[in-house]
Amino acid sequence: MPVGTAATVKAMLPASVRQTGADIVLGNTYHLMLRPGAELICRLGGLHKFMGWDGPILTDSGGFQVMSLSKLRKITEEGVRFRSHIDGNEEFLSPERAMEIQRLLGSDIQMVLDECPAYPAAEAEIEKSLSLSMRWASRSKAAFDTQPGRACFGIVQGGVYPALRRRSVQALCEIDFDGYALGGLAVGEDQRAMFDVLDATVPHLPNDRPHYLMGVGKPDDIAGAVLRGIDMFDCVLPTRSGRNGQAFTRYGTLNLRNARHAQDASPLDEKCRCPACRQFSRAYLHHVVKSGEIIASMLLTWHNLTYFQDLMADLREAIAAGRLAETVARIAAAYPREVEKSPEMLD
């Protein structure tokens, strides 16, 4: 899912997002509640109409951003009080308010409010946080306005501790959700630790519900997670990297800022179907990145979103054809973990 934080997938028009192959985007409750406000978006006809996106929208609950972006936050049983990072105003988010905001936005897939502890954290701390998150999950589900075509997802927490992850899965399954997300990953732990958590958790999730790994990730993270039973992902990486002059390709990442692209008449990837690859040379992309031109963000975001959509399509095809492990290995080979050894990253 491309991330459309503030009611826009940055540097993309909705029709262009669609052309990359995306059929669902993510919106951020935290950002939208602060600006322009959920009640205003509701009065204007909902988030789909507001941002011009006619496909499904998944909204997070705001929990993660409250923990990572806001200031002076205070967490109680009731919810979390915090100050907006935009204007310093005091704000409050509870499980009930998080669901109300998502209902006002008209979100198709709504996420429960959870607490997102910092990484690393001791097991006792994670356990305490987890208990609160599970009570919040129960209140979120109770506050969810069930409607045909609307889904509510629970979020498995428990840090890197398998027993806590299993306890979280059990608690959520008792509440019964339309889908199950894994939170608290891709927060600083290495890939091995993340995969270990998936190995210890995903087999316990209901098989007939979607499994969503939040905030992930790099191509090889995604491939490895799909191998472990994950169905859905969101990440700012394709859009943010695009704005920073970085392109994802079948051969690894390219930093378009690097001087070696300055005279290169070849496209980023001759097999890619995006406008950056079809209409422009690496030399042009280098030029507009170096010049700070908006078109650089537009083209590289479009390219990266296309790359990630095609990556997911490849993985789906590989599953259908029974050769997933092979495809995952190919992707992982293009994205070696130790990036300092990759010549592309030495740009």
Q: Is 234 tagged catalytic?
A: yes
Which positions from 193 through 232 interact with a copy of itself, judged by CB under 8 A? Answer: none
Supply the minimum distance, in Å, between the C-beta of residue 19 and a copy of itself.
12
Residue with token string 């002059």: 245
88 is an interface residue for a copy of itself by CB under 8 A: no
Residue 247 engages a copy of itself in binding (rule: CB under 8 A): no
Q: Which of 153, 180, 284, 307 binds a copy of itself (CB under 8 A)?
A: 284
Amino acid identity for residue 252 in this structure: G
Reply yes or no on whether 196 is catalytic. Answer: no
Stretch that binds a copy of itself, among 8-16, 71-79, 208-216, 218-226 (CB under 8 A): 8-16
Kindly report the length of the chain: 347
Taken in order 239, 240, 246, 252, is the CA torsion positive or negative?
negative
Among 23, 125, 145, 293, binds a copy of itself (CB under 8 A): 293
- Two structure tokens written together for 13: 């028009």
Dist CA 59 CA 251 (whole Å): 32
Query: Within 10 A of 331 (CB to CB), how many other CB atoms are there?
Result: 22
For 189, the token pair is 């732990």
Could you tell me the smallest distance in angstroms from the CB atom of residue 236 to a copy of itself?
A: 14
Nearest approach, Cβ of residue 14 and a copy of itself (Å): 7
Give the residue, chosen from 1, 33, 51, 289, that forms a contact with a copy of itself under the rule CB under 8 A.
51
Q: Which helix H or strand E contains 180, and what residues bound it?
A: strand 179-182
Q: Considering only CA atoms, which of 182, 175, 174 is closest in space to residue 95? A: 175
Q: Is 287 in the site for a copy of itself (CB under 8 A)?
A: yes
Site string for a copy of itself, 15-44 (x = CB under 8 A): x-------------------xx---x--xx
Bond prior to 36 in cis (omega within 30° of 0): yes
Hey, is 6 helix, strand or coil? Answer: coil
d(CA 119, CA 52): 37
Contact assessment for residue 50 and residue 44, using Cβ atoms and an 8 Å cutoff: yes
Q: Assess 273 for contact with a copy of itself (CB under 8 A).
A: no
Residue 13 or 339: which CB sits closer to a copy of itself? 13
Interface with a copy of itself includes 295 (CB under 8 A)? Answer: yes
For residue 71, give the 3-state DSSP assignment: strand
Binding stretches for a copy of itself (CB under 8 A)? 6-8, 10-15, 35-36, 40, 43-45, 50-52, 243, 262-263, 265, 275, 279-281, 283-284, 286-288, 290-291, 293-295, 297-299
List the catalytic residues. 60, 234
